[in-house]
Structure 1
Amino acid sequence: MNPTPSLKPLPWLRHTLIAGWAALSLSAALAHGDVVPQAVDTSSLPQLGAKWLDANPYNPASPARGEALRIGTSAYNQNCARCHGLEAISGGISPDLRKFDGDCTGLADAAKKEACFKEMDDYFLATVRRGRVRDGRVYMPPFEGTLSQEAIWSIRTYIETRREP
């Protein structure tokens, strides 16, 4: 008799592992969802007009900030979370948006800090409106035409609340 037990896997274990892997793969594929940008209802926000604003109108002093945050949270989950992660915590596929303007928050000089946030607003708006394409590969789809200015600034409002300290 051989004192060493057999290391052959049990047949039921192999089938269980394969079934588990298949279920996990299917759920991951279904969870990714539709990659087409989804429109957002912003009718409860003051309309900003056709001309794109240079800075987020839903700043902390804005009376519409609470509503913009509510809409932005939902809009982010519908359009951004699949790549940038739930609650803006990236899993590594796309940039972690909690760190989006992190270089600005640490600036001591108020004028430099304001200029930095303005530059980040410009970058954010351009990126979301036109998307990001490199070497013919789409890294981020353009959202202009699907998302209104109100929706995009609402998403920016949500991202601002997710900043890392």
Structure 2
Amino acid sequence: MNRSTPARWLSSALLTLGTSAALAHGDVTPQSVDTKSLPQLGAEWRVENPFRGNAEATRIGGSAYNQNCARCHGLEAISGGIAPDLRKLDNECASAKTAPKKAACVKEIDEIVITTMRRGRVRNGAVYMPPFEGILSQEAMWAIKSYLETRRERPM
């Protein structure tokens, strides 16, 4: 079978584009996060963000996010379409009518986010997000969540 010139060009372009897209995300090796300046949380995993509103955690989380999450979720948590836009994580919580409902919603989102960071996401055998447990500490993951709370699309 003889390929036409346009078909060869298209195959070559797609291969180049795929390679360029992969390289555009930079080093996919998880980067360590220095959390020595944060309170240490111990071995038991929290289900609610213990660093909420902590400026140091937010600073560390911003750096950790840029090093480990932005390649898929986008700079400043603004997705370019590869992965979910993390500014929208708790949009539904912002519209909760009462403070207890809002708090329960935020706690539920905290639990979903930390579980996803720890275990990753796999669907039909395809890895959509790698697991970070054993790579990033609990302190680093909660610092990232603290940073994401500053990037909310709909403030609480």
Aligned to 1:67: 56
C-alpha deviation, 1:155, in angstroms: 0.1
Q: Matched residues in 2 for 1:59 and 1:135: separation?
A: 34
Aligned to 1:40: 33
2: distance between equivalents of 1:112 and 1:29?
A: 41
Q: Calculate the TM-score normalised by the size of structure 2.
A: 0.83
In the alignment, which residue of structure 2 is the partner of 1:50? 43
Runs of 5+ unmatched residues, structure 1: 1-20
Q: How does 1:1-150 map to 2 (within 5 A)?
A: 28-60=21-53, 65-150=54-139
Following superposition, the deviation at residue 38 of structure 1 comes to: 1.8
1:28 Cα deviation from its structure 2 partner = 4.9
Residue 156 (1) aligns with residue 149 (2): no
Mean CA deviation greater in 137-146 or 41-50: 41-50
What's the offset of the Cα at 1:27? 6.3
RMSD: 1.6
Structure 2: 5+ residue stretches without partners: 1-12
SS at match of 2:139: helix
* TM-score with structure 1 setting the length: 0.79
What is the rounded CA distance, in whole Å, between the counterparts of 2:117 and 2:22 in structure 1? 24
**Structure 2: how far apart are the matches of 1:69 and 1:122?**
18
Q: 30-39 or 70-79: which moved more?
A: 30-39
